[in-house]
Structure 1
Amino acid sequence: MYGGLHNNILLQYLAWVTYPVVLITFSAGFTQILAPQAVGSGIPEMKTILRGVVLKEYLTFKTFVAKVIGLTCALGSGMPLGKEGPFVHVASLCAALLSKFMALFGGIYLNELRNTEMLSAACAVGVGCCFAAPIGGVLFSIEVTSTFFAVRNYWRGFFAATFSAFIFRVLAVWNKDEETITALFKTRFRLDFPFDLQELPAFAVLGIASGFGGALFVYLNRIIVESMRKQKTINKFLLKNEVPQAWKHPQVGVFITLLLFIVMKFWMSALATTMPVPCGAFMPVFLIGAAFGRLVGESMAAVFPEGIHADSTVYPIVPGAYAVVGAAALSGAVTHTVSTAVIVFELTGQISHILPVMIAVILANAVAQSLQPSLYDSIIRIQKLPYLPELGWGQEKYNIRVEDIMVRDVRYITLSSSYRDLQEALITGQLKTLALVESKESMILLGSMERSQLQSLLSQQLSRARRLEYLRERAQDNGTHVPTFPQDSPSRTGCGELLIVLPFLKNKKCIFQIAEWEEQQLDEAVNFNNCKIDPAPFQLVERTSLHKTHTIFSLLGLDHAYVTSTGRLVGVVSLKELRKAIEGSVTVTGVKVRPPLASFRDSGNNSSVSEVTELHKLWSRNRSLLLPREPNLPDLDDQTEQPSEGSLVNETECTELSSQNSPLHTDDQSELPYTDATPQEEHLMQLPCDCTHPLEDGGSEAVSEQCPAPIKEAVTEGIPSPPEGQPE
């Protein structure tokens, strides 16, 4: 159509503009209507998900459909957009949907860890099938999405990426596009002397310049996104003058053409990647780097037209080799990865320029990482996704402890909490998990509960069935005959009983009685026996260093952890507090930075005495806690352990006698009440006599006189004497 309208410049312009505008508009509209989560690359979101953060609607079938159709239209528009990031997201969507389908049959796919392994392999598949580069795809996915990588997923990623790349190239052979399976962009550089030693400085300069260019691209992309978000109205584009000569290819040299191509492609790619369509930025950056490398290569060929003379041998300049080096260097600088070198080797099918490529990529990464974050980390910060920055090398950050950055106002529930407390906690906060403590006085951390479990407890307490049961009892108390229904009958809580209690609902007094009944139900204590409790949530000691906390959060993919002191809950630290401490904004929230060598400031006796006192208080807390726990196998080591020779009390006999006489005695070890006592405390609590706990506020004098003398000596013997000045 464009060629048939050569006589009308206006129609040529409309034809040139209409197709991209229509396709981009359809892609943006379809994506926004069906699944807005499909917008963008997908790699930043996958990096966040693999860190352990749950992003809603990012791995659903709707997002898959929107991503595929939106990406097809966006690439067909001819805009400077890439497909690598969307391919990673599409592969992850396929893996997530496949995991959900396999979970219907049970087995290992019900485990969340298996889903994470599937997503990790899917990221490698996305890169591998995009460039037909399985090795580079696996390495690139590891560098981009993972801080710590499980080696057990290594072969899985290679296996999946190899088959994806194989099928991608086989389809090209079946469609008669290729005669056989070859590299995607095969090159034929000479293999005897691909480059001379004197060219290495030029390759190094190319890498350094690519590092600055990559940092500039990330900065320009972020500035465009932030300015477009602030700009509420779109400025009008007015075409004042016609420039017919602009539609003709100018007869200029290769330097002007490459220079204009680099400049225009650079800012247009930075602008195009901000559009609300499924798109990536790797391929445009890869192309810009190749053009810049070609420009350097042509410049070297112009400076040395006859090649480089060394040892009576002439080494001609190969501009195409500089293009390969530039593509790897600039793409590596933008993404902060070194695996782009391997991707280039697999794309070209030659490894002859491995040394120049590696030198340029490493130098480009060194420059770019010192100036700007990677493109994916920049997008994560722009979208305000949860992330954990690198710790850095500042000495002041290593002197910060968890107690300096933790949140002390922790929302929690106790074993004596009422359903009203649960209702208030659910209404006033949006936390995913709540801490479960023994009491407000002791603050002993017993576990954590998910928000869904609390909602289930509250809904069961005020369920429709219990309301109807209350109305049945009220009707029977008033002398009304209420027929009974079988337990599994649909009429038990259906229309049958509703017709019976309907006369009571018409009475306003009865309505007030129902409201009063609900208030009574809310005031009852919560029964935690029918809910799932995590008995071992992630905990940190208050004096844990920031460096160790960062390592634990990165390795385990945590989003929060409780802070305890001798078992007592004293605070909670999340990604938000950790990020503020690392980025140096701790003074905004009043956090003080600890002085150097602060770990040795509390090494005196006072700290030890206070810790021992707190430990004694912890030992002497109430032992009659019935907390649900998962079944555990009995500890064989404790059962086979024999008392030492000369012991005054046979611990095994005391344990058997005490457990048999206890009303909580059971043969099934999995149903024992929740305890976390030390062996010494278990020994003291299981003595077959009526004696007071020796660690109560009475000390050794609180031991009852009813205890036999040998046992009394054994009990009081293990009590540490308080130091001088310390109250007993």
Structure 2
Amino acid sequence: MGFEMKLGWGKAVRIPPQPLYTPIGVLKTTAPPPPSGLPFNAQPRDRFRNDFTKSRSRSQEDFYKVRAILLGMDMPDYLSLSNLFAKVVGLTCTLASGSTVFLGKVGPFVHLSTMVGAFMNRLHVSCRGGKQNISKGEMLVVASAVGVASCFGAPISGVLFSIEVMGSHYSVRDYCPCFFAAACGAITFRLLSVCSRDQETIQALFKTSYPAELPFQPFEIFLFALVGLICGFICCFYLYCHRWALRFVKTNKPISRLLATEKAIYSAIVAFLLACFTFYHSAGRFIAAELTMKQLLSSLLDATSWYNISQNSTGLPEPQNTFWQAWNPPDGSYFKTLGMFILTKVGLLVVACTLPLPAGYFMPVFIYGAAVGRFVGEVSAYVFSAKLQLNPGGYALAGAAAYSGAVTQTLSPALLAIEMTGQCTHAVPALVATLISNAVARAKHRPSFYDGISLIKKLPHLPSFIRACPKLASVQIKQFEIPTGVVLERAEGLTSVQKILNVNTETEFPVVDSHDSLTLLGTVNRSLLRDFLYEHKDEGLCKQLEEACAIQPVRLQLTPETTVQQAHCIMNMTGERCLFVTENGRLCGVLTRNEMKKIIEEMAKEV
């Protein structure tokens, strides 16, 4: 049973006169002749495929691309198997560079997972003979959660992080398959670690031994809040530098030309400069460059205070002795090394973000936040060394959650830090620090890391634009020219229907009372029109459309006063490929996903 939903408030405003429909008489037959024996072209192409890949991003963090797909954007070949193999090879090379380039793998893991999910969806549809019982979007939502969970072996925070980053709306029915698939992925990741003898059993990714009886003093809550505040301010500076670097690379003609023609040369130059700076016999010895990313995080999360080790560093067990020698070189101190690490890694990470490599940036900022927290913890342990024994590792845990949460403007990193370390005792400090850092990072509508990339690249992701410019939320669709395309009237004949099918690839056509009144009656499917032509091809011009085709009622209608945000939300929530804009029953336009993309691109110019 059909129903009609009218959106928008206030008095209806008539849209300025536009060429609302294409008269039948001016249609030009540009398609090839129909197959033999059929009066129509029976092979329609996808109406909504676009050339979005022309604006391929040079930055290879894949979160913002995947979430654009989840919002309905078509990106041809982005989820193909050939792209999957290329991504695997590129990610392997990126991770082989270690802490020199200082890049992670979360984004590519999500991309790989969604590519596998898309392939499994196509395989499932082909096995069922073309019948699809679940949408492709649901499969990609589940796959994105599996990508995060498999990267860290953290199923709960993996699902929550994908919810916060990927979509502005999340269906409740996706929770169960997401958690099930994420748990399977995390267990597989842990079992493979056991099989490769990296770990003895299924346990936390980074083992810690914090005291459970008194994990922290009550007054330390204020110190954890200070960690969140510091991480929030550093995050604002980092995101500003990141957006500036992306703009500079995009607008600087020599660099942009080099990236467009010789990506390998640009990558080699930047990687060489990073390697020269992080070389141990240059500046690398002042930033613990000899440690891998896993060793960096393990050393920062260590519960033992480095001040206590400095008083008696003899007889330290491995790997604690290796970590201590890296952070406390002979010609320096651990305070100096931590400070240099915090100051220099911001610039190095900004430069590394311009590399056209498949890489993730969550783990680097997670480690950086741990360094900030460790610095505050070591200072606090030194100040209160005569009275209390503080745990600097707890501050590193809170700093990692706070800084990564501020960069991505999410809260799930607090839970991720707990799952990765198994330290439930520091759940409250991590959450407090993350909340405060998020409050600072979100102030004055500052965009997150992924929103910033969408803004710089002008990707058609409406939530990013609205967060950066809230006034865009009140923009109405009547401010844009929305064509109706080709419409059918109820008395349409065989000849007109045949011409329309030959030159158009739409799968659904609006039906009006007449071309003069444009009163919307409903829609008719392309397959019904094919049957209509085939069954009545011998009856000449006497047969009309309404006599042979069932006109389906329109389920959703928009008014000209409906905002673009409302229309975008409805289109994504309902999965509709097109929405009809009407005023007092008169058809004013057909809003397709392609038209929505054009509208969002126009709105992006205002940001």
When normalised by structure 2's length, the TM-score is: 0.68
Paired residue for 2:425, among 333, 339, 352?
352
After TM superposition, the structure 1 = structure 2 runs for residues 252-651 of structure 1, keeping only pairs within 5 Å, are: 252-307=332-387, 315-371=388-444, 372-389=446-463, 402=476, 404-407=478-481, 409-415=483-489, 416=492, 418=496, 422=500, 435-447=510-522, 536=554, 538-544=556-562, 548-549=566-567, 551-553=569-571, 555-556=573-574, 561-572=579-590, 575=596, 585=606
Partner of residue 9, structure 2: none
Amino acid at match of 2:435: I
Cα 1:143/1:394, change in 2 over 3 Å: closer
Is 1:122 the counterpart of 2:122? The answer is no
State, as a whole percentage, how many aligned pairs show the same letter.
Answer: 36
Whole-angstrom distance in 2 between the partners of 1:324 and 1:42: 26
Counterpart amino acid of residue 166 in structure 1: I
2:178 alignment counterpart = 157
Q: 3-state SS of the aligned residue for 2:93?
A: helix
CA contact (8 A) 2:58 2:356 kept: no
Letter of the structure 1 residue corresponding to residue 386 of structure 2: E
Is 2:105 the counterpart of 1:83?
yes
Q: Does 1:210 pair with 2:290?
A: no
Partner of 1:221: 242
In structure 1, C-alpha distance between the alignment counterparts of 2:553 and 2:250, rounded to whole Å:
45
Q: Match for residue 52 of structure 1?
A: 72
Query: Where does residue 721 of structure 1 map in the other structure?
Result: none
Is 1:201 the counterpart of 2:222? The answer is yes
Q: Residue in 2 aligned with 1:485?
A: none
Conservation of the 8 A alpha-carbon contact between 1:413 and 1:422? no
Question: What residue identity is the alignment partner of 1:363?
Answer: I
Residue type at the aligned position of 2:488: T
The verdict on how the C-alpha distance between 1:285 and 1:431 changes in structure 2, with shifts beyond 3 A counting, is farther
The verdict on how the C-alpha distance between 1:102 and 1:337 changes in structure 2, with shifts beyond 3 A counting, is same
List per-residue Cα deviations over 1:545-591 (Å, max 9, x = no partner).
677546534533567632102321123555468758988959xxxxx
Preserved contact between residue 406 and residue 571 of structure 1 (Cα < 8 Å): no
Residue 514 of structure 2 aligns to which amino acid in structure 1? S
- The one-letter code of the counterpart of 2:112 is V
Q: Which AA in structure 2 matches 1:405?
A: Q
Aligned partner of 1:141 among 138, 162, 171: 162
Change over 3 Å in CA distance of 1:64–1:254 after alignment to 2:
same
Q: 1:384 to 1:446 in 2, by over 3 A?
A: farther
Residues 436 and 446 of structure 1 are in contact (CA less than 8 Å); yes or no, is this contact kept in structure 2? yes
Higher relative contact order (CA 8 A, sep 6+): 2
Q: 2:14 maps to which residue?
A: none
Greater mean deviation of Cα atoms: 70-79 or 401-410:
401-410
Q: State the shift of 1:300 in Å.
A: 1.1
- Decide whether the 8 Å contact of 2:57 with 2:457 is kept in 1: no
Shift of 1:525: 12
Alignment length, in residue pairs? 477
Q: Alpha carbons of 1:282 and 1:559: their partners in 2 closer, same or farther (altered >3 Å)?
A: farther
Counterpart amino acid of 1:127?
A: V
Q: Describe the shift of the 1:64–1:199 C-alpha distance in structure 2 as closer, same or farther (beyond 3 A).
A: same
- Give, in angstroms, the shift of residue 420 of structure 1: 10
What is the CA-CA distance between 1:128 and the residue it aligns to? 0.8
Separation (CA, whole Å) in 1 of partners of 2:141 and 2:418: 23
Change (3 A) 1:385 1:192: same
Which region of structure 1 is more displaced relative to structure 2, 126-135 or 205-214?
205-214
**Structure 2: which amino acid aligns with 1:110?**
Q
Contact 1:38 1:278 in 2 (8 A): no
The residue type equivalent to 2:516 in the other structure is E
What is residue 33 of structure 2 aligned with on the other side?
none
Displacement of 1:345 in angstroms is: 0.5
Is it true that 1:105 corresponds to 2:127 in the alignment? yes
CA gap 1:425/1:220 in 2 versus in 1, 3 angstroms: farther
User: CA separation of 1:274/1:243 partners in 2, compared to 1, >3 Å: closer, same or farther?
Assistant: closer
Say which SS state the counterpart of residue 360 (structure 2) adopts. Answer: coil
Counterpart residue type for residue 73 of structure 2: V
Structure 1 position 94 matched with structure 2 position 116: yes
Q: Structure 1 residues 187, 175: CA separation in 2 closer, same or farther (over 3 Å shift)?
A: same
Which stretch has the larger CA shift, 90-99 or 247-256?
247-256
Match of 1:230 among 235, 241, 251: 251
The structure-2 alpha-carbon separation of the partners of 1:557 and 1:333, relative to structure 1 and needing over 3 Å to count, comes to farther
Of residues 65, 69, 73, the one that matches 2:85 is 65
Kept after mapping to 1: 8 A contact 2:460/2:601: no
Using the size of structure 1 for normalisation, the TM-score is 0.58
Query: 1:369-416 deviations in whole A, cap 9, x for unaligned?
Result: 224212122222333322222767999878x58464342554333345
The one-letter code sitting in structure 1 at the alignment partner of 2:585 is G
- Going from structure 1 to structure 2, the CA distance change for 1:62 and 1:447 (only over 3 Å counts) comes to farther
Q: Distance in 2 between matches of 1:99 and 1:292?
A: 43
**Relative to 1, partners in 2 of residues 1:164 and 1:437: Cα closer, same or farther, differing over 3 Å?**
same
Q: Output one character per residue of 1:293-332: Cα deviation in whole Å (capped at 9) or x when no partner.
A: 111111111222224xxxxxxx421111111101000100
In structure 2, give the amino acid aligned to 1:201.
F
Q: Is the 8 A contact 2:149 2:185 kept in 1?
A: yes
Q: Secondary structure at the match of 2:231?
A: helix
Matches within 5 A, 1:663-678: none
Aligned pair in 2 of structure 1 residues 198, 206: CA closer, same or farther (>3 Å)?
same
8 A contact 1:297–1:318 mirrored in 2: yes
Question: How far, CA to CA, are the matches of 1:37 and 1:403 in structure 2?
Answer: 28
Give the AA of the match of 1:341.
A
Deviating more after overlay: 54-63 vs 565-574: 565-574
Given that residues 147 and 554 in structure 1 are in contact (C-alpha distance below 8 angstroms), is that contact kept between their aligned partners in structure 2?
no
Give the 3 Å change call, closer, same or farther, for CA 548–61 of structure 1 in structure 2. Answer: closer
Q: How far, CA to CA, are the matches of 1:395 and 1:170 in structure 2?
A: 46
For residues 392 and 550 of structure 2, the distance between their equivalents in structure 1, rounded to whole angstroms, comes to 66
Stretches of structure 2 that go unaligned for 5 or more consecutive residues are 1-54, 259-268, 287-328
Q: 1:631-663 deviations in whole A, cap 9, x for unaligned?
A: xxxxxxxxxxxxxxxxxxxxxxxxxxxxxxxxx
Does the CA contact (< 8 Å) of 1:559 and 1:575 recur in 2? no
CA contact (8 A) 1:537 1:561 kept: no
Match of 1:673 in 2: none
How far does residue 200 in structure 1 lie from its aligned partner after superposition?
Answer: 1.4
Distance 1:247-1:357 versus aligned 2 partners, 3 A rule: closer
Which amino acid is the alignment partner of residue 147 of structure 2? Answer: G
Residue 166 of structure 1 is aligned with which of 165, 187, 191? 187
**Secondary structure of the residue that 1:412 maps to in structure 2?**
coil
1:389 aligns to what SS in structure 2?
helix
Aligned to 1:649: none
Distance 1:245 1:139, change over 3 A: closer
Aligned CA-pair RMSD: 4.3
1 CA distance for matches of 2:517 and 2:56? 47
Shift of 1:419: 7.5
1:693-717 C-alpha deviation (Å, 9 max, x unpaired): xxxxxxxxxxxxxxxxxxxxxxxxx
Secondary structure class of the residue paired with 2:463: coil
